[in-house]
Structure 1
């Protein structure tokens, strides 16, 4: 056989080799593709678990707790005046002044540091520091002589006992302040303000970031009935009718509704999602997370975990000789080193344009021995990981839309994953449209500063409702 006759045969062999390699890659990652049948099963299970959380008899053992937030109304556009907001969730915190005039909102804010010795000190030291910073801010803004309501976004696990009553369950994020766990944080804040005796501030509402996102958007769009966080973690809230909330222990007066903080990240902690969890979901949960067996729904669709999930699949492909000619790098082999932001960067590449992918591989992961085919497979893995996350989030949104059951509903969304991933929003809109009950329309709206603006708006709504009740002789 002449050399001229070998070329077509060599090309055929090369084609077969590529096809076999592609088939092997697809076989490994196929489990990340969820069918609509599977997604609808997830929806039914989620709806069932939510009902258990709302039912007084089943709530104690429910995976999804469905906490009433005591926020019972969204802004109606009549809110006016000056309101403070306090946003505490880490080593920095913000104090904000929100000026409301109907639909017009203006904000000023200042960031303050929580020193390490205060993060590990006493309750009195922490709240005295917060009160001092509030006082400094009010004096700088020339409002120290005003009596102002305050909305408090407190981003630590709490047991809510009223709109302005919340007991810290446990500290997270490096805080170890003594004398706070089990205590009402609003009482501690008020006591610190009273010790100063130079400002007059009343905390009228405590919220989390999910509620803040919803209320922030609701000020612009009265159809906003759902709040969603898709960032480092994931959670959702929605407006529910009181007659469906058996755990409600507040007053029965109108409005006969309340925003429910679902805490849906814990969906699946009782094993109901095992039918879609892969061996790498299990490995990530057991070896990478700090809370094995907890927040399993969140671990399949939030920014803290998606990068590591993609890394585990990429490592598998390398180990089987299907990627980078079987040669990894120390960085790719390091748990937690493939950041979720890489997924967003890689998926920002246009079709057959590997500029960002090559940059991540070469400069961020130290991989030099790669081909265009390798870049394609890396993109493919990232797209499946993020698409599954978007589809699972879509299941949750469709369930909440079905529960709200209004003809048109706006979903407020915040969080770094949703904001920075180039395709997440589009994938969600398409999938929610396929899953939601027929006849229900929705739109997704990006929320801006729910932890600041949203907290102040909740305070404004609380004051409006309280004034209305006073005028009607109800309190």
Structure 2
């Protein structure tokens, strides 16, 4: 295949390719998890999930109860609008969602959807105002055009959900220790929803006492996120699964280097195996090690996870070219991408299958181990890795079901476009409905 892609492929290529593959596999340790390792990880993750709920026991998982009830979308008020703001690390979004007669949809104005997605340029801020005002500056083209009945915030950082004083709105008390390399001093001073609402009112004069729903991205999507970060939700629990650290026995050299180079060594170990931010860092580590070993004579000018997805598409699209890379290096990086992606999907799938099995009685209230037919359910995943990496979702499906089939549970792991946006809107409209029922307001 490489000869077809690159006619200039020369005789030294195969030998150097073989040496590089051996180096990546044996020295750097980038190989798939073994079945025994995955079984051990599953047992440890299940114990961490159980301990996380009890709070008093040792667990690397925060296991927050989202405090948001299940939503019956058939009961949501028709014609009402929600401003949804998602702060998912460097990726931020805003949308106006309206509940029409046909269901939830993104509002259109002058033929254009009121939806915007942007990327933040930095991760270190002087304080919470500095951070949130930059977010609003990027999202202003949508926020400035929306006149919402309720507000929903997707806050993709750790935090403890809280019921507001009126017993209606749900907010999150953030932690000072953020994930994804962010530094925002003072972000934990007041609940994040209250802070956002105050700044929005100053800038856009929203309705007074507007109902508020703040939740993690996994609760919004009612599943999991595998993008720049990684997290999973199971039922009402946000597990903060990126922080799962009971895999330290199975971390090979290259991933230990990624951990040491990160902003938070020793923490978020599962996330460092799975998420896009750290796959990019892994590419940088491997390139450095290959260069030191004399196997790489060209600089790799990419250190982002998007490069992995491009490499995996080479086999599917012969028109993709890398002008500055020689053929053997393309082949080497394709091998690296496949191994890293398989390892990521193995771990994510094993954790999903384990989580669903652990909370099987919540998903299936009448669960009976003697039932002859399989229990079936969907599990939603969102995020750039799921959406852009060829074959990733099917691998996650495979490894999730290898765990869950022991309990006769068949999982359909699938991706739904804007699942988080619509899930967050539904939660906010449900709070609006409950508010109306309690106060008699329309």
Taking structure 2 as the reference length, the TM-score comes to 0.75
Distance 2:30 2:337 in 1: 14
Could you say which residue in structure 1 is the equivalent of 2:257?
283
Question: Deviation at 1:181?
Answer: 2.8
After TM superposition, give the deviation of residue 302 of structure 1 in Å: 0.7
1:122/1:99 CA distance change after superposition, 3 Å? closer
Residue 182 (1) aligns with residue 137 (2): no
Query: Cα–Cα, structure 1 residues 183 and 283, in superposed 2: closer, same or farther, change >3 Å?
Result: same
Give the Cα separation in 2 of the matches to 1:200 and 1:440: 47
Q: 1:164 to 1:345 in 2, by over 3 A?
A: same
Q: Residue 197 and residue 461 in structure 1: after superposition, are their counterparts in 2 closer, same or farther (change >3 A)?
A: closer
Q: 1:177 Cα deviation (Å)?
A: 7.2
Q: C-alpha offsets along residues 221-279 of structure 1, whole Å, 9 cap, x if unaligned?
A: xxxxxx1101011001111xxxxxxxxxxxxxxxxxxx1110011111xxx31221011
Task: Give, in angstroms, the shift of residue 32 of structure 1.
Answer: 1.8
- Deviating more after overlay: 402-411 vs 148-157: 148-157
Q: Residue 84 of structure 1 contacts residue 95 of structure 1 at CA under 8 Å; is this kept in 2?
A: no
Q: 1:236 and 2:232 equivalent? A: yes
Equivalent in 215, 220, 229 of residue 212 of structure 1:
220
Change (3 A) 1:299 1:200: same
1:435 counterpart residue number: 403
2:243 is equivalent to residue 266 of structure 1: yes
- Aligned counterparts of 2:41 and 2:350: Cα–Cα separation in 1: 7
Give the structure 2 partner of residue 39 of structure 1. 38
Q: Which residue is 2:312 aligned to?
A: 347
* Post-superposition offset of 1:445: 2.4
**Alpha carbons 1:87, 1:94 under 8 Å: kept:** yes
Q: Within 5 Å, which residues of 2 pair with 1:54-453?
A: 54-58=53-57, 61-81=58-78, 82-89=80-87, 95-101=94-100, 104-108=103-107, 109=114, 120=126, 140=145, 143=147, 148-162=149-163, 164-170=170-176, 176=184, 180-189=187-196, 191=198, 199-200=207-208, 202-214=210-222, 227-239=223-235, 259-268=236-245, 272-287=246-261, 289-321=262-294, 326-331=295-300, 337-350=302-315, 356=320, 358-359=321-322, 362=323, 366-367=324-325, 370-371=326-327, 373-405=328-360, 406=364, 407-438=375-406, 439-453=408-422
- Residues 398, 432 of structure 1: 8 Å contact kept: yes
- Cα pair 1:123 1:177 within 8 Å, conserved: no
Q: Go from structure 1 to structure 2 and tell me whether the alpha carbon gap of 1:31 and 1:199 turns closer, same or farther (over 3 Å shift).
A: closer
Secondary structure of the residue that 1:409 maps to in structure 2? strand
Tell me: CA distance 1:317–1:263, structure 2 relative to 1, closer, same or farther (3 Å): same
Instruction: After TM superposition, give the deviation of residue 85 of structure 1 in Å.
Output: 2.3
Mark the CA change 1:15 to 1:150 in structure 2 (over 3 Å): closer, same or farther: closer
Structure 2: runs of 5 or more not aligned: 1-11, 108-113, 164-168, 365-374
Quick check: 2:229–2:271 contact (8 Å CA) kept in 1? yes
Answer whether contact 1:85 1:97 (CA < 8 A) is retained: yes
Residues 470/37 of structure 1: CA separation in 2 closer, same or farther (3 Å cut)? farther
Further displaced range: 107-116 or 410-419 = 107-116
Q: Looking at CA atoms only, which structure, 1 or 2, has the larger radius of gyration?
A: 1
Whole-angstrom CA distance in 1 between matches of 2:345 and 2:158: 25
8 Å CA contact retained: 2:309, 2:390: yes
Distance 1:338 1:458 in 2: 37
2:151 aligned counterpart, secondary structure: strand
Work out whether residues 151 and 212 of structure 2, in 8 Å CA contact, stay in contact via their aligned partners in 1: yes
Change (3 A) 1:97 1:201: farther
Distance 2:175 2:13 in 1: 60
SS of 1:300's equivalent in the other structure is: helix
What secondary structure sits across from 1:45 in the alignment?
Answer: helix
TM-score by length of 1: 0.71
Following the alignment from structure 1 to structure 2, what is the Cα–Cα distance between the partners of residues 232 and 290? 15
Q: What are the equivalent positions in structure 2 for 1:447-466 lying under 5 Å apart?
A: 447-465=416-434
